[in-house]
Structure 1
Amino acid sequence: MAMRVEVPMSAINTEIELPLTIGVGDVVSTVGTLTLEVRGGKAEDFRPALADALRQAADAVERAATHEADEEVPDAAAHG
Structure 2
Amino acid sequence: MPNHNQKPKPDNRRDNLKKIQENIENTLENIQEAEHSVETASEFQEEEIRRKNERRRESIEGMRDEVRDEHAHQKRKKK
User: When you count strand as a share of all residues, which structure comes out higher?
Assistant: 1
Q: TM-score, normalised by structure 1?
A: 0.38
Q: Please say which structure displays the higher CA radius of gyration.
A: 1
Q: TM-score, normalised by structure 2?
A: 0.39
Higher relative contact order (CA 8 A, sep 6+): 2
